[in-house]
Amino acid sequence: MSTPASSDAAGSGVPAGEPVTVTVARRVAPGREVEFEDWSAELTRRAGRFPGFLGAGLLRPSHVGEPWHVVFRFDSSRHLHDWEASPSRAEHLAAGEDLVHGSSTHRVTGLETWFALPGRTAPAPPRWKMFVVSLAATYVLQLACNLALGELGWVMPLRVGAIAVIVTFFMTWTVMPWMARVLQDWLYAPPGRH
């Protein structure tokens, strides 16, 4: 099973202290899907024994023959690298080589996860653009929440906690996916294009 040259997190350009989300697309050998699921579950169990592991999930394809996607997350590029360079992982990948006909890896960090669009494989937008869009969205949501909850007379820790939950929820599942779609021509414009 081949792994891309970019799988070395230490040389990926990812800041060492940011969480890293990795998606691995694997084409499973026909008729071996059940074996692949068991193999993938064991790979996740092995990853879970490593420091910094935050979780994983297996996404089945909607059509036969399409890739299966494994998504896993580590708290830093260093911990991800420790897992990816481990003998435990290498041994398990080798054991499942006949289950997989090909694989590709994609990783995102920090704000990039808010700007991921379905079907888009281009790199994330420049960080300054992600900052501007995130700041604008956060400001509007914070202002709306403060106006709505300010009259309730809640003590500050309770009010701040409620606002943090509301803002994070809407930023993750509503506002940022919508803004990424609406502003995609600007966000992903090649350098020098106005």
pLDDT at 3 over 70: no
Answer whether residue 76 is part of any domain: yes
| Torsion sign, CA atoms 131, 132, 134, 140 | positive
DSSP 110-130: GGGGGG--TT--SPPPPHHHH
- What CA–CA distance (Å, rounded) separates 35 from 21? 25
Task: Express each pLDDT in 84-137 by its tens digit.
Answer: 999 999 999 999 999 888 777 766 655 555 666 555 545 567 778 888 888 899
Specify the higher pLDDT residue, 17 or 190: 190
52 plus 96 within the same structural domain? yes
- Domain hosting 12: range is 5-110
104 plus 9 within the same structural domain? yes
Detail the DSSP E strand segments found in 35-144.
53-59, 68-74, 100-109
Answer whether residue 117 is part of any domain: no
Residue with tokens 């803002």: 167
* pTM exceeds 0.75 for this model: no
